[in-house]
Amino acid sequence: MIWKYAMGLFMAAVIIASFLLVPPTQGLGDMGRIIVYHVPTAWVAVLAYLMSMVHSVAFLRTGDMLRDRKAAIAAGLGTLFCVLATVTGAIWARGAWGMFWNWDPRQTSVFLLLMLYVAYFALRASVQDPDRRAKLAAVYAILAFLTVPFLVFVVPRVYPTLHPNLINVTERRYEMDSIIRLVFLSSVVAFTGLYLWMFDLRLRAENILDQLERERGN
């Protein structure tokens, strides 16, 4: 329990630091701070979708409905963080490139990611039978996630994009100053913690609802 309060304070500290500690970036000015929010939310979205795929694979192998529940919750949270990432990205784009949306390969990829998971929920909504729904959704979640590496890693490297690459993989170094780097990494930790907490809450809620329904049925 204590770690939830700690995380709350930690996130508050990150927020304050992102405004007061982090200096304005050159060329972007104060708008540059938004990477402290944009990249972690994007990272969490991909993490959530990965978890959704992992749970889907586990479901197909074991048939355990709890796995299906976890896959759906992960996908839902992933979509939430994906929306946050898209919005913060668009705000950044407005500051850096002059317009909110210009179909830059990276922006296009994140839009596709959103569409993939909207489709996941559309599929879930179309099937009444829980077992069939779980099976079909699991297959789709796995297929959907397989396109993610393409979208996130291949497309921006192959097609020219204006989106900055903060982590220079070829030279193995960060393109950020130490202060920004510290706040940025702390933000990643904070948002990941937030995701895990929200996942836990949703899972517990679904479990209780499921139990209540079963009791009502008996």
Partner 1 sequence: MQFCSLIKAAWTVFRKDLRCEFRTPLNFSILMIFAVTVLMVVSFAVGGIALDPTLLAALLWVMLFFTAMTGVARAYVQEEETGTALVLRLATDSAAIYIGKVLYSFVLLVGVAIVVVPLYLVLFSVAPAMPLALAATVVLGCLGIAVTGTTFSAIVAQVTAQGSLMTVLSFPVMLPLLWIAISTTSTAFAGSNLVALAPDLAFMFFYSGMTFVASLVLVEYL
Partner 2 sequence: MSELQFVLSVTLAVWIGVFVYLLHLDSRLRGAERREKV
Q: What residue ranges bind partner 2 (CB under 8 A)?
A: 4, 8, 11-12, 15-16, 19-20, 30, 197-198, 201, 204-205, 208, 211-212
Q: Are 17 and 180 spatial neighbours (Cβ–Cβ below 8 Å)?
A: no
Q: Which segment (7-15, 94-102, 107-115, 194-202) binds partner 1 by CB under 8 A?
A: 107-115
The three-point CA angle 42-46-52 to 5° equals: 145
Q: Are 22 and 33 spatial neighbours (Cβ–Cβ below 8 Å)?
A: yes
Binders of partner 1 in range 22-81 (CB under 8 A) = 60
Q: Which residues, 6 or more positions from 58, have their beta carbon under 8 angstroms from its beta carbon?
A: 64, 67
Q: Is 155 in the site for partner 1 (CB under 8 A)?
A: yes
Measure the CA–CA gap between 195 and 201, rounded to whole angstroms. 10
Q: Is 143 in the site for partner 1 (CB under 8 A)?
A: yes
Q: Is 83 in the site for partner 1 (CB under 8 A)?
A: no
Measure the CA–CA gap between 91 and 34, rounded to whole angstroms. 8
Interface with partner 1 (CB under 8 A)? 60, 108, 112, 115-116, 118-119, 122-123, 126-128, 132, 135-136, 138-140, 142-144, 146-147, 150-151, 154-155, 158
